[in-house]
């Protein structure tokens, strides 16, 4: 029986554990696994369920060794007892059993490995499909927030301009001062430039499209998903930092959705597949 376990990993790491009866086939099994597997850490354990190949005591050798011990006893310490256990620990008295047929053993290991990998890939496929659906739902939420921010942006700019204008005029009235011609418009333009989030919104829209494409891809995309979600978080945080309007801070809530998607995109999913 072969037990295969997998966790996420940047590279391919295969670890093999075999019972003593077939320990010499560890390199063969690892090489076959590397041919079939890609990125990830895999632990392959084999449990042998068959007749044991225990060493057999050579009765003739044991009898001769015991008689020699008794002769030595008679010569050195007559009358003392020679326990039978005196010869049990002598490895020379045991016959090493014949090993398994190499070709048959490798064929059985290959078949068990293929069955385990098939079961493993099936489980990972089902789990991946569920994760893709979950991330897609989070992406849909982020898109809706993105649209709401774009629609709110012109009103937010006008509201910020109105607040600045009324504040400056109120302060000037309180101290009895007057502004230079065009100075207020210059300050408003500088404020609008610092608070402009158009570039961040464009990049977010591009990231959304790339994320959607990755969710439809057939090859492994975990590392690219991780990088893309980090970029989305960076843009959303910049929008939140620049925005002075409550309505345009919605991507900060979108960043929370991004974080939830990130947690689902990079888990150390541990799965187990068994085959006889």
Judge if pTM exceeds 0.75. Answer: no
How far is 204 from 200, CA to CA, in rounded Å? 6
Query: pLDDT tens-digit profile of 80-124?
Result: 888 888 888 787 787 766 567 788 889 999 999 999 999 988 888
Query: What is the pLDDT, as a whole number, of residue 253?
Result: 56
| Of 139, 128, 118, the residue nearest 220 (C-alpha) | 128
From residue 60, give the alpha-carbon distance in Å to each of 42, 53, 56, 63, 74: 48, 20, 12, 5, 21
Mean pLDDT of 154-163: 80
How far is 181 from 40, CA to CA, in rounded Å? 66
How far is 83 from 203, CA to CA, in rounded Å? 86
């Amino acid at each position: 029986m072969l037990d295969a376990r997998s966790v996420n990993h940047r590279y391919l790491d295969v670890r093999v554990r075999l019972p003593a009866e077939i320990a010499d086939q560890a390199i063969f099994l690892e090489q076959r696994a590397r041919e079939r597997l890609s990125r990830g850490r895999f632990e392959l354990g084999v449990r042998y369920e068959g007749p044991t190949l225990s060493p057999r005591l050579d009765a003739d050798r044991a009898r001769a060794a015991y008689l020699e011990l008794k002769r030595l006893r008679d010569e050195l310490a007559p009358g003392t007892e020679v326990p039978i256990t005196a010869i049990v620990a002598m490895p020379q008295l045991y016959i090493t059993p014949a090993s398994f047929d190499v070709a048959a053993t490798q064929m059985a290991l290959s078949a068990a490995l293929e069955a385990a990998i098939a079961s493993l890939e099936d489980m990972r496929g089902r789990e991946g499909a569920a994760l893709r659906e979950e991330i897609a739902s989070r992406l849909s939420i982020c898109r809706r927030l993105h649209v709401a921010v774009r629609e709110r942006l012109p009103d937010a700019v006008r509201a910020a301009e109105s607040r600045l204008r009324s504040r400056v005029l109120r302060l000037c009235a309180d101290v009895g001062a007057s502004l230079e011609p065009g100075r207020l418009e210059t300050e408003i333009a500088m404020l609008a430039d610092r608070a402009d989030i158009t570039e961040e919104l464009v990049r977010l829209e591009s990231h959304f499209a790339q994320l959607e494409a990755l969710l439809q891809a057939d090859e492994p995309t975990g590392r690219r998903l991780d990088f893309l979600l980090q970029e989305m978080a960076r843009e959303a945080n910049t929008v939140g930092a620049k925005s002075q309007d409550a309505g345009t801070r919605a991507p900060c809530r979108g960043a929370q959705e991004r974080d939830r998607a990130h947690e689902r995109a990079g888990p150390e999913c541990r799965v187990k597949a068994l085959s006889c």
